[in-house]
Amino acid sequence: INSTTSEVFLRNYLIDKFYSFKILIKPIEEIFIIKLTIIDYNNYQPNFYNLPLNLSLSLSNKFLTKISSYDYDLNTNQIVHYYLLDKNQEKIFSLNQTNGILELNNKKYLNQTNIQLYIGITDNLYLTKSYIQIHFYNYTKNLPKFSSDEYIFYYDQTRSILGQIIAYDNDLNDEISYEIYLQSKSISIDRYTGTIKVEKNFSFIKPSIEFYASAKDLAKQIVYTKIKIFYIIEPKFRSYLYYITLNSTNFKIPYEIYQFDIVDLFNQPLKS
């Protein structure tokens, strides 16, 4: 207590709900008993929420995971902070005290592929400890590789799937994701299987289109391939109805007057 201002300060954390203490007031030499009831009571210990006990990650990753927690206390007592408990591991990893984001900062101090990372959360009264087992893979040894440098597909109006592109990677436990580079949103690719689909309302403005696709591994190494799509040409007449005008019934019609052209969907004559 401040003898001049009579302000009462807290020296340590309160662990009980009720307190009482005596105050001597001079020079009247009277003693007062102060009873204190703690309303904002820190009664619960923080806990980890869905903590991943095992992680398999790439050495090329900076972001590793986000740690979550909960605390049943109210107000400021439910605010927790995250910490790395091993000082040596702070040279390699960083753990954001506020949002729990774990990152790999310095690989040069990483001399093993399996690490048991010790972490803790606290509400400034209680400390909860745990660990994460992390296994690092080196996915940079091999690049992804497509099964073909160029893929050719033929568009069939009765089917939504054009075809599939395939890439592989010889790195152990590596994963590949696919992406296409095309302005039209009517053609899409499944990120994980490489299956290419086209919407039914897609219209070709020319007999074929070309674009590129990529395959990316967990080390973010990217390779490319070319894709060609051809529209299946169906012959048709220029018109659905033809008119022939004759001036005389006695006039003999030469055979050459009947001339028809067969064209494709783009109104281009088909050659025999």
In this prediction, residue 130 has a pLDDT band, given cuts at 50, 70 and 90, of very high
Per-residue DSSP letter, 233 = P
Q: Which domains does the chain have, with CATH numbers?
A: 47-137 (2.60.40.60), 145-231 (2.60.40.60)
For the segment 189-237, what is each residue's pLDDT rounded down to a tens digit? 999 999 999 887 777 777 888 999 999 998 889 999 999 998 866 666 6
In this prediction, residue 250 has a pLDDT band, given cuts at 50, 70 and 90, of low
What is the structure's pLDDT at 151? 96
The rounded percent of the chain whose pLDDT value lies above 70 is 85
Compare 132 and 10 and report the one with higher pLDDT. Answer: 132
Nearest alpha-carbon partner for 208 in 259, 159, 152, 140: 152
pTM: 0.51
For the beta carbon of residue 209, count every other beta carbon within 10 angstroms: 17
Peptide bond into 254 cis (omega under 30): no
Q: How far is CA 113 from the centre of its chain?
A: 24
Mean pLDDT, the chain, integer? 84
What is the structure's pLDDT at 47? 94
Examine the pLDDT at 257 and tell me if it is beyond 60.
no
d(CA 262, CA 272): 10
| Token duo for residue 200 | 């039914």
For the segment 65-78, what is each residue's pLDDT rounded down to a tens digit? 999 999 988 877 78
Compare 66 and 59 and report the one with higher pLDDT. Answer: 66
